[in-house]
Chains A and B, each alone.
Chain A
């Protein structure tokens, strides 16, 4: 199928189907099944009983085979449309997008990479969210959606101390302060931590996803500089919302697709706000999956409070940051958002 421009209303269904298929292809079915089984508390029986007293309307034959066929068709459509688009549209910075896309894939496949993180954040944010203080030095190891950050000198309710942050393969978000660890399942993470994670851009792969989706990317050639890296200049598209920074420099090794350095910065009109983060490549290695789990960083004798101790965990969390637990999530969100809006 070729994409005809202008797009006809009759083509919309196929495009949407292709879009949903591409999204469906990223779903980790086995993990979801495990989580569903855990929610139910008991394994799901292989065959479920059928009610005899509840006649259900007659079965048609949309059957899963037919649906599977539809999905397969949709996949072909999306790829065909993609190819047609590539041939007909040829966006100017195709090289930049291709390079960033390849770097993102490289980041996902591994090996694990370590970056040094340096940041400067608006004072208003720091006052409202002590977790934003990344300390004098912080490093982040990452592979795919997994990451673990080691940071010193983070100010918490009890003064300063080393802090480890991370997200494991199941996207559980955790952190450890002193001898206490806190772990949150997806959907449980308190808003203040979500904002911390957002401002510190703790997930480089997601960050690259944002570059591909919401930024104009251009390769900047510097003839005087004979560096083995390609520099990509990223500027936020005007229509893109909900992003805390506006511009970025991405330095990528074109041979290995390794990101050597990444700088993000926020601007407001002609005024540059004091928000920026720099990631500098340090080393790469193959880390065991357990290194991205909280237990690997918990000191001996330490306690990890997870979803099974949610009440105690949440109580200790709010004590730790020196705030009362908000009466409602809404008020917490408003409190956390205030400094952002004041910028």
Chain B
């Protein structure tokens, strides 16, 4: 399979999972988006633009899903943000307490993100992944100014959430 796909898949699934809160759905969406891109491969230079197009497609699909479907509650993979294996990749590099704390931090970030609206989450995550404001605006179908507002509010909300979690106080 094309190299760009293999490189993009991990972060694409992580991003989709964060947006829809369901690993199974996330993988399904990513697979579907990759397939769509490949079917229409002749229209694009996928080696160059495939990743950006894939994230744009995933963003739209996830926002559509979030605004259309009610979540099914589950203890298993289908549950929000509790997909399989969130442990640190190299377990030999960390002690079990550190791994447990990594889990606690990850869980706090996941919960904080889940409190954001899907567009806020998408804007913040795409920014953290290195996309530029213009690209994000294109993906979300909003203006660049809207993106800046979304990211600003999302950061503020996340900082407040994490502070409340770890210090018991909301940030100013």
Contacts and interface: CB of A to CB of B under 8 A. Distances in A.
Interface residues of A, number: 94
B41 A6 contact: no
B67 interface: no
B100 interface: yes
B109 interface: yes
Contacts of B79: 206, 242
B34 A213 contact: no
A82 B46 contact: no
A165 B100 CA distance: 31
A187 B4 contact: no
Contacts of B103: 97, 101, 212-213
Interface residues of B, number: 91
Given A36-B1, A102-B96, A64 B7 contact: yes
Given A12-B124, A197-B76, A201-B75, A209 B109 contact: no
A176 interface: no
A199 B16 CA distance: 27
Interface SS majority for chain B: helix
B127 A48 contact: no
A96 to B, nearest CB: 9
A289 interface: no
Interface string B130-164: 10000000000000000000000011101100110
Contacts, number: 280
B159 A8 contact: yes
A310 to B, nearest CB: 15
A186 B13 CA distance: 15
B113 interface: yes
B59 to A, nearest CB: 14
A207 interface: yes
B64 interface: no
Contacts of B85: 26, 108
B75 A243 contact: yes
A32 interface: yes
Contact of B100 (A17, A18, A101, A197): A101
19 contacts: A12-B162, A13-B124, A20-B18, A27-B9, A32-B30, A51-B45, A79-B102, A83-B98, A91-B104, A94-B101, A98-B99, A144-B84, A186-B77, A194-B72, A194-B78, A203-B76, A207-B75, A210-B82, A212-B104
